[in-house]
């Protein structure tokens, strides 16, 4: 079994490289992804190796990038688009929700939409306005789109390949604050399916569901809670649409307590849907009301106070304490 250690950014690069080697109809497109290698260097070296007809530097026009990729998908190409920053996706919102999400159904299956929209998202890098958004709920709400997010280099390596090979359009949310985190990548075994949740840390007292950047925060909180005698089971959601209800429900039926941790604001969010779904399914297993720990419901603040805005280990532990109080 071949394993190696790499950053998430490198794992994404290698995953796209493998996809392009396997299928000559796989293209990459985005702003500054060619010679520069992208602002985060995720596509570094790919244009040199595959040429500028497969790794395409696009103009600064997100709606045109997505619209062009729709036409390519209709002709059988598989294009992985990079939206340079999360807050830049909104000019392409009409194309994504009106064309990308609906063309397969509207054409009665004549066209598939093998299209991946790579979206560096969430904060934690000290960026300026429009560079630290969490827009995943918009796309989760839209029927016809798949939404996934890795939290480890291993998942990034395999999930980008699986997304490119998928016949449905995939919004591929990359937690940019984790691009430089290193981890082991198994080059032979992809592990769980693209939309499967994974138990990252077993526990008995509270089920903590997190995704993207917040998985690492939840795991750090679990370590701190263990020192105080509370056992947290941490679940990495991975697939946001569809999400893996079975893994979460099995955990909640054991622990009786649910805490969802997300970087997005709480109102009408992925966390809201998880709480609603699991409350419906596991109501008689609940020992306390399900809780969410999320960012505040305000526009993303200036970078100097983003650590106050984003969920912290302390805020996760406060949520755990509130759940455990119901047994007092």
**Active site (catalytic) residues:** 131
> Cα–Cα–Cα angle for 11, 216, 8, nearest 5°?
10
CA distance 147 to 256: 28
Among the listed residues 249, 242, 272, the one whose alpha carbon sits nearest the alpha carbon of residue 260: 272
Is 197 in contact with 235 (CB distance < 8 Å)? yes
DSSP string, 142-199: STT-EEE---SHHHHHHHHHHHHH-SS-EEEEEEGGGTT-EEEEESS---S-TT--EE
CA distance 251 to 232: 10
CA distance 8 to 79: 20
CA distance 83 to 103: 21
Is 211 in contact with 262 (CB distance < 8 Å)? yes
Among the listed residues 42, 77, 247, the one whose alpha carbon sits nearest the alpha carbon of residue 160: 42
Return the SS3 of 236. strand
> Tokens 């009409």 sit at which residue?
94
Is 293 in contact with 263 (CB distance < 8 Å)? no
> Cα–Cα–Cα angle for 265, 292, 268, nearest 5°?
45
Is 86 in contact with 119 (CB distance < 8 Å)? yes
């Amino acid at each position: 079994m071949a394993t190696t250690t790499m950053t998430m950014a490198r794992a994404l690069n290698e995953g796209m490289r493998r996809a392009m080697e396997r299928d000559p109809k796989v293209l990459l497109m985005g702003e500054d992804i060619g010679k520069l290698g992208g602002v985060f260097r995720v596509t570094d070296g790919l244009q040199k190796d595959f040429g500028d007809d497969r790794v395409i530097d696009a103009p600064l026009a997100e709606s045109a990038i997505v619209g062009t990729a729709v036409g390519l998908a209709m002709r059988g190409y598989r294009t992985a688009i990079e939206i340079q920053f999360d807050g830049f996706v909104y000019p392409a919102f009409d194309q994504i929700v009106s064309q990308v999400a609906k063309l397969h159904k509207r054409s009665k299956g004549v066209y598939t939409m093998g299209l991946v929209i790579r979206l560096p998202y969430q904060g934690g890098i000290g960026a300026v306005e429009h560079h630290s958004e969490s827009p995943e709920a918009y796309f989760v709400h839209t029927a016809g789109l798949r939404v996934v997010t890795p939290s480890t280099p291993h998942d990034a390596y395999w999930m980008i390949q699986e997304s490119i090979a998928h016949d449905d359009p995939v919004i591929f949310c990359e937690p940019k604050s984790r691009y430089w985190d290193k981890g082991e990548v198994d080059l032979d075994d992809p592990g769980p399916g693209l939309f499967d949740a994974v138990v990252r840390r077993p526990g008995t007292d509270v089920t903590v569901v997190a995704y993207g950047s917040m998985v690492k925060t939840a795991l750090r909180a679990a370590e701190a809670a263990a020192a105080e005698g509370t056992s947290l089971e941490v679940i990495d959601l991975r697939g946001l649409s569809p999400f893996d209800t079975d893994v979460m429900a099995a955990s909640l039926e054991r622990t009786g307590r649910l805490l969802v941790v997300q970087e997005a604001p709480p109102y009408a969010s992925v966390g809201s849907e998880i709480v609603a779904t699991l409350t419906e399914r596991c109501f008689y297993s609940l020992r306390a009301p399900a809780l969410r720990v999320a960012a505040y419901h305000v526009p993303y603040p200036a970078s100097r106070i983003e650590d106050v805005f984003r969920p912290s280990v302390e805020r996760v532990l406060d949520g755990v304490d509130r759940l455990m109080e119901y047994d007092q």
